[in-house]
Structure 1
Amino acid sequence: MALMRETPEQALRDGLVRQTSCYPLMPYSNRIAQGRFSFEGFEHRLVLNFGDHPHSIHGNAWQRPWQVAAADDARCRLVLIHRPVGDEARGWPFAYRAEQLFELSPDGLTITLSLENEHHRAMPAGLGLHPFFPKRPGVRLQFAAKRVYPNGDDSLPVDSVPVPDDWSYRTMRELGEPRLDNCFAGWDGTARIAYVQEKIALTIEADPLFGHLVVYAPTGRDFFAVEPVSHVNDAISRPDVAGHGLKVLKPGERLTAQARFGVEVLS
Structure 2
Amino acid sequence: MSSSEESIRLAAGDAELTITPANGCRISSLRVGGTELLRQGERYGCFPMVPWCGRIGNGQFRNGGEQHQMPLNSPPHAIHGTGRNTAWSTVRADKSEAVFSYDLAAPWPYSGRVTQIFELTEDGLTLTLGVEASDTSFPAQAGWHPWFQRSLAGGREVEIDFSPGWQEERGDDHLPTGRRITPLPGPWDDCFGMPDGVDVKLTWPEQLELTVKSRAEWVVVYDEQAEAVCVEPQSGPPNGLNTLPRLVTKIDPLEIASTWSWRRL
* Fold in common (TM above 0.5): yes
| Residue from 137, 142, 164 that aligns with 1:122 | 137
SS in 1 for 2:58: helix
Conservation of the 8 A alpha-carbon contact between 1:139 and 1:196: yes
In 2: Cα distance, 1:48 partner to 1:164 partner: 29
Deviation of 1:3 (Å): 5.5
* Aligned residue number for residue 156 of structure 1: 175
Conservation of the 8 A alpha-carbon contact between 1:3 and 1:133: no
Structure 1 residues 22 and 4: CA distance shift in structure 2, 3 A: same
Q: Which structure 1 segments of 5+ residues have no match? A: 12-17, 167-177, 239-243
Q: Give the total of aligned pairs.
A: 227
* Aligned residue number for residue 173 of structure 1: none
Output the TM-score relative to the length of structure 2. Answer: 0.80
* Aligned residue number for residue 100 of structure 1: 116
SS in 2 for 1:237: helix
Deviation of 1:125 (Å): 1.4
Matches within 5 A, 1:243-262: 244=244, 246-262=245-261
1:100-137 superposed Cα distances (whole Å, 9 cap, x missing partner):
1111111111111111111x321001111111111123
* Aligned residue number for residue 134 of structure 1: 149
Matched, 1:196 2:196: no
| Residue from 70, 83, 97 that aligns with 1:61 | 83
Conservation of the 8 A alpha-carbon contact between 1:112 and 1:258: yes
In 1: Cα distance, 2:212 partner to 2:133 partner: 28
In 1: Cα distance, 2:221 partner to 2:167 partner: 10
Conservation of the 8 A alpha-carbon contact between 1:130 and 1:225: yes
Structure 1 vs Structure 2 CA RMSD: 1.7
In 2: Cα distance, 1:185 partner to 1:108 partner: 24
| Residue from 33, 41, 52 that aligns with 1:28 | 52
Matched, 1:265 2:264: yes
Conservation of the 8 A alpha-carbon contact between 1:182 and 1:216: yes
1:25-66 superposed Cα distances (whole Å, 9 cap, x missing partner):
11111111111122211111111134xx21111111111111
Structure 1 residues 94 and 77: CA distance shift in structure 2, 3 A: same
Output the TM-score relative to the length of structure 1. Answer: 0.79
* Aligned residue number for residue 104 of structure 2: 82
In 2: Cα distance, 1:160 partner to 1:22 partner: 29
Conservation of the 8 A alpha-carbon contact between 2:39 and 2:227: no
Q: Which has the higher helix share?
A: 1
Q: Which amino acid aligns with 1:234?
A: N
Q: Which structure 2 segments of 5+ residues have no match? A: 1-33
Q: Which has the higher strand share?
A: 2
Conservation of the 8 A alpha-carbon contact between 2:49 and 2:80: yes
In 1: Cα distance, 2:184 partner to 2:71 partner: 37
| Residue from 206, 216, 220 that aligns with 1:214 | 220
Matched, 1:5 2:24: no
Matches within 5 A, 1:227-242: 227-238=232-243
Conservation of the 8 A alpha-carbon contact between 1:145 and 1:185: yes
